[in-house]
Each structure stands twice: as structure tokens, then as C-alpha cells.
Amino acid sequence: MRVRPPIPGTLRVRRFLAWVTAVLCAAVLVPAVARADNPIVQHIYTADPVNWWQFGGAGGGNLIANGDGESGTAGWGVMGAGTLSSNAAVAHGGAASLSVTGRTASWNGPSQDVTSKLANGRSYTTTLWVRSQGGTPTVKATLALTADGTTSYVSLTPGTAVNPDGWTRLTGTATVSWSGALSGATFYVETASGTDGFSVDDVSLQ
């Protein structure tokens, strides 16, 4: 049986120093490699642009573009059937409102895509002014959310009767949340029933 020769003292010290050096090198080099190559670690060190709504905090502006209708129909569309136009004959504020005519279903009305502007789980306050072109329809603002292929509807304001003689204020607060990946979010104004034409002005969602 072979007996291991004793390790001389100087060699022991050298081995210890080599070990200490290796540990120190690893301590310095491993985080450096992680910073350079690991996207998760790198994310901590980079200043990515962050939007206020990602924090779900208070403040921020109106998510509805051209909510006052002073820029024609810019930013707006129609949910389903109907024709949207800028109406200078009636305005709650400024010089014009947005009018929808030719509706064929109660859910038709002025609409706007807000998909990229919402924060999951946040509370939103909606305010708008509505006036009918005839009749006294009950009007409400709704948010259609499509996530993971399923569409759900959030009531943003209670249904409120409006009339052609003046402007009626609609307002409400609702928590907006969804499960999975949000692929679409449409803000729109509709009636509880019927197809009366109506006008909206000073629309805000914030």
C-alpha cells in the first residue's frame, strides 16, 4: 500500500492562495457575465421607458383622444352600424360635438380603441355629456374587453335618460380587469334600447 507523502508547508500555502484567487475571480466575473448576457439582470440596469398607467396610480390625463370633439371625428369610430359626424349645430363645450345617426341596433354608437391605454385592475372614472336628436333614449358608456379570445363588457356609467332639449351628464366609476392577454378594448356609447341618434361631447375616461 502506497503512503501519500506529506504535503510541504509552502505548497499548502500556495494551494490555499490559488483557491482564494479562484474564489475572488469568480465573485468578480460571474456578476459581470450576468449583467452582460442575462436579459433579466440587464433589465434592472437599463432605464426602460415606464408609463404612468403601469403603476395604476392616480393622475394622468384623459384616455379618450379628441373627447371634446373639437378636432372633427379624429380618433373616433362607430361600434357597429351608423355614421359619425362633427356637429357644429350643438356643442356642450367649444364649437362642436360628435353626432351619430343611422344606428340599426341599440349597441351602435361612437367608439374609440383604448387597448394600449388600460391597466389591469385599475379603477376608471368616465364622464360625458349626451343629447338626443329626438326621443328620450337611455344612454350609457360601455367598455368591451377582449382577452384570451373572450369578450366581456364593463358598464362604465349607469344608463341615463337624455333628451333633445339640452345636455345630460353621464358619469360613473368602474374597476377594469381581465384574465389573460388583452387583445382589444373599445370604449363606446350606446342606448339601452332603440336606435335614436344622439350627440356626445366632453367625453373623458381617466
For binding to Ca ion (CB under 5 A), which residues are involved?
68-69, 91, 93-94, 201
Cell representation of residue 161: 335618460
> b/e per residue, 137-163, with b = 16+ CB within 10 A?
bbbbbbbbbbbeeeeeebebbebbebe
Q: What residue is closest to Ca ion based on CB? A: 94
Write down the least CB distance from residue 55 to Ca ion, Å. Answer: 31
| Cα–Cα distance for residue pair 193/152, rounded to 1 Å | 19
Q: Which is nearer to Ca ion, 31 or 94 (CB)?
A: 94
Q: Which is nearer to Ca ion, 107 or 110 (CB)?
A: 110
Q: Which is nearer to Ca ion, 77 or 194 (CB)?
A: 77
Of 66, 181, 75, 202, the closest CA to residue 118 belongs to: 181
Q: How far is CA 12 from CA 7, 15, 24, in A?
A: 7, 5, 18
Write down the least CB distance from residue 68 to Ca ion, Å. Answer: 4
Write down the least CB distance from residue 129 to Ca ion, Å. Answer: 9
Q: Which is nearer to Ca ion, 93 or 135 (CB)?
A: 93
Q: Which is nearer to Ca ion, 93 or 159 (CB)?
A: 93
Q: How far is CA 160 from CA 29, 80, 176, 196, in A?
A: 66, 21, 21, 14
Q: Where are the alpha helices (DSSP H) in the chain?
A: 9-37, 39-45
| Cα–Cα distance for residue pair 138/106, rounded to 1 Å | 10
